[in-house]
């Protein structure tokens, strides 16, 4: 790696100083043609910075090597933070083309750092001769050293070249996989012209479908594979063939069509396995788990088996009861996957006299925002101030300044509704993470929540399902982790923690969603302004565990599928579907459906950073149930517990080991009992 000089692009906002509120991105000035020149310039700058570190004539120290590395590449980080977030939330064909051009450059740059012997020698010298350091400095040093070793710094020159090729291929394949899923999702639409087919579907979903058809110049009702549209059909459509068609289309995304991901999966798992073996690990899962709370595959499988032992018998009983209920309505066939949500919703209504359509009027989006913000105020003293002067990347996006005790903590972007340029799902991300810059200034984070909630129409505001309320709270829990970070080093700040720990703050916040004390603060009927009745809140609590065992088995099955892909010898993987079905066989509760494949659209593990880590959702469920039991004991608005949670977990990021942070908050290591009790799997 040598110093490089490249002329600074002219009139390119990505590389200029931002004269914007709180140095937020000037989205209105950023054009697609700005990205490639900005990336090339930022890469050259970053290489020059690294050259100065490794060629320094002075002895390597923590400050001139480890901290200098931490502060290098700031411009590159800034540009990447914008580009890759927009690639997910507001993409285009040109953005995807740019990603194909840029990703190999960034992969090569990452390898240039970790495979540079002179740079590694300086890092290793500090690691072996560091002297007295503060806990966060020790963590930064250890993380930096390990990142070099885990990315091949100790390999021979020949093996370093092999690793470079592997990483380059992995980068491209992961991008191709993601683009195939999006293209496959957008490729299918269903125009309904016969009103009879809409029977059972809520009027709000019908209105949205009509609006979609009009926007395409069509008459009728247009349904697609965006989550609100898909779930409306699967949950409510009386026409079974319509449900079946939607199910088959959604679950055949990127499978046996123009955007087929099967060969990409085979290549990805083969290359990941080759990388792990090159670095001295038995499997890719072993490589990943070394840096997680779980530590090894045995601990992952032990947890999955414990949970499966409790969940599977209960889930089978749930399915038997549901089948009997469907029969009572005159349905005499075995329940198929396109029947489950439909009869489950009817059964829930029958048991608890409540359903999503009864609840949605109390969950107007603006009221839910107020409720979520209010919870953050009550627990963590946060204040939210809207700011329409801050530029956004899409008109749907709303921006808030976030304060704690009159001190700015973050800028928060909220992006709620589906569009063709946004991938499915919900996620928290950041355009900039909290850290202290080289001059000692506390740089506050720019946090973004991206979701796909039911949009408003001319006739009706955006009314959320209860699941959407919980999803919002989940992602907002992640945002608290980012916004309340108080770390010197960016790589240790906010959500830069092990994957099986990162879901603790998100899942913990979901617990408040069933509490009367919380819901009664904001859940007003959007038409009558009537507060949600106590009877309805009780029903929410009552159905909270409805089909909890089924949901648990489903999550466990995803974790087992992920582990299969990353522990299996790739030479034994001949057919993607055969391997998938074998991995899922123990957890199957309904007949297998021909023509569908989960893995081809399992973006979490093949393009979303959760490879050999999907088990982390269940791992963190143990943590969140155990943590929430402390709030339940002391009071769900107990300030002392909330302050301890901020102090010991939210503010700490990855500055200490995850288990140590948890023990400081909880007073002991987590126990599984609270999760089993909450799920109704243990009295």
Burial of 232 (0-12, 13-18, 19+ CB in 10 A): buried
DSSP secondary structure, 297-319, as one string: HHHHHHHHHHHHHHHHHHHHHHH
Catalytic residue, chosen from 151, 433, 475, 503, is: 475
Nearest-angstrom CA–CA distance, 623 and 499: 13
Q: Is 645 helix (H, G, I), strand (E, B) or coil?
A: helix
Nearest-angstrom CA–CA distance, 323 and 626: 34
Nearest-angstrom CA–CA distance, 505 and 481: 7
Total H helices, total E strands in the chain: 27, 9
Nearest-angstrom CA–CA distance, 153 and 59: 20
Spell out the residues 6+ positions from residue 490 whose beta carbon is closer than 8 angstroms to its own.
Answer: 70, 77, 433, 434, 435, 496
How many other C-beta atoms lie within 10 A of the C-beta of residue 639? 13
Closest listed residue to residue 567, CA positions, set 304, 365, 327 = 304
- Cα torsion for 383, 397, 228, 205, to the nearest 10°? 100
For 163, the token pair is 């690793």
Cα-trace Rg, the chain: 25
Q: Are 435 and 411 in contact (CB under 8 A)?
A: no
DSSP-based helix, strand, coil % in the chain, nearest 5: 60, 5, 35
Active site residue 17: no
Spell out the residues 6+ positions from residue 144 whose beta carbon is closer than 8 angstroms to its own.
Answer: 66, 69, 70, 123
- Which residues are marked as active site? 475
């Amino acid at each position: 790696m040598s110093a490089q000089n490249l002329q600074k692009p002219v009139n390119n906002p990505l590389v200029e100083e931002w004269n914007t509120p709180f140095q937020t991105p000037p989205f209105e000035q950023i054009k697609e043609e700005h990205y490639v020149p900005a990336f090339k310039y930022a890469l050259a700058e970053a290489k020059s910075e690294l050259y100065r570190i490794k060629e320094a004539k002075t002895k390597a120290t923590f400050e001139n090597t480890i901290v200098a590395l931490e502060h290098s590449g700031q411009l590159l980080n800034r540009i990447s933070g914008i580009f890759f977030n927009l690639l997910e939330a507001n993409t285009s064909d040109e953005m995807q083309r740019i990603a194909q051009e840029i990703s190999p450059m960034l992969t090569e740059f990452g390898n240039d750092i970790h495979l540079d012997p002179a740079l590694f020698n300086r890092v290793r010298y500090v690691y072996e001769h560091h002297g007295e350091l503060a806990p966060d400095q020790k963590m930064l040093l250890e993380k930096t050293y390990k990142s070099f070793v885990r990315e091949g710094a100790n390999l021979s020159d020949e093996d370093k070249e092999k690793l470079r090729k592997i990483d380059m291929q992995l980068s491209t394949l992961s991008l191709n996989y993601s683009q195939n899923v999006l293209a496959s999702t957008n490729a299918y639409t269903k125009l309904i012209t016969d009103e009879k087919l809409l029977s059972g579907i809520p009027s709000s979903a019908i209105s949205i479908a009509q609006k979609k058809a009009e926007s395409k110049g069509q008459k009728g009702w247009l349904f697609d594979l965006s989550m609100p549209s898909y779930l409306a059909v699967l949950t409510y459509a009386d026409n079974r063939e319509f449900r079946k068609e939607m199910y088959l289309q959604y679950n055949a995304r990127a499978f046996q069509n123009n955007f087929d991901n099967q060969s990409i999966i085979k290549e990805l798992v083969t290359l990941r396995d080759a990388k792990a073996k090159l670095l001295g690990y038995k499997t890719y899962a072993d490589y990943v788990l070394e840096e997680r709370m779980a530590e090894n595959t045995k601990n992952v499988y032990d947890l999955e088996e414990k949970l499966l032992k409790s969940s599977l018998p209960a889930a089978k009983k749930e399915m038997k009861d549901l089948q009997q209920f469907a029969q009572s309505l005159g349905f005499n066939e075995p329940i198929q996957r396109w029947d489950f949500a439909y009869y489950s919703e009817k059964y829930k209504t029958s048991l608890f006299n409540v359903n999503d359509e009864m609840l949605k009027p109390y969950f107007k989006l603006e009221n839910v925002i107020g409720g979520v913000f209010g919870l953050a105020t009550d627990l963590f003293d946060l204040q939210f101030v809207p700011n329409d002067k801050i530029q956004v990347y899409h008109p749907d996006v709303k921006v808030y300044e976030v304060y704690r005790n009159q001190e700015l903590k973050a800028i928060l972007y909220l992006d709620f509704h589906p569009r063709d340029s946004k991938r499915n799902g919900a996620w928290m991300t950041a355009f900039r993470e909290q850290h202290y810059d080289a001059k000692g200034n506390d740089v506050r984070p720019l946090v973004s929540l991206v979701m796909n909630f039911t949009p408003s129409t001319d006739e009706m505001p955006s009314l959320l399902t209860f699941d959407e309320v919980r999803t919002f709270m989940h992602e907002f829990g992640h945002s608290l982790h980012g916004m309340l970070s108080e770390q010197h080093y960016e790589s240790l700040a906010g959500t830069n923690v092990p994957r099986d720990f990162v879901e603790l703050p998100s899942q913990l916040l979901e617990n408040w969603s069933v509490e009367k004390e919380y819901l009664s603060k904001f859940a007003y009927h959007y038409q009558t302004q009537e507060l949600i009745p106590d009877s309805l809140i009780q029903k929410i609590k009552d159905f909270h565990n409805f089909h909890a065992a089924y949901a648990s088995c489903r999550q466990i099955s995803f974790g087992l599928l992920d582990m299969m892909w990353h522990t299996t010898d790739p030479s034994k993987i001949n057919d993607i579907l055969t391997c998938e079905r074998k991995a899922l066989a123990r957890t199957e509760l309904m007949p297998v459906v021909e023509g569908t494949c989960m893995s081809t659209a399992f973006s979490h593990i093949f393009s979303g950073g959760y490879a050999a880590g999907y088990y982390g959702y269940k791992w963190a469920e143990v943590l969140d149930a155990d943590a929430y039991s402390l709030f339940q004991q002391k009071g769900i608005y107990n300030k002392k517990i909330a302050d301890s949670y901020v102090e010991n977990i939210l503010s700490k990021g990855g500055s200490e080991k995850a288990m140590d942070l948890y023990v400081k908050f909880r007073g002991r290591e987590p126990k599984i009992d609270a999760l089993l009790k909450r799920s109704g799997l243990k009295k």
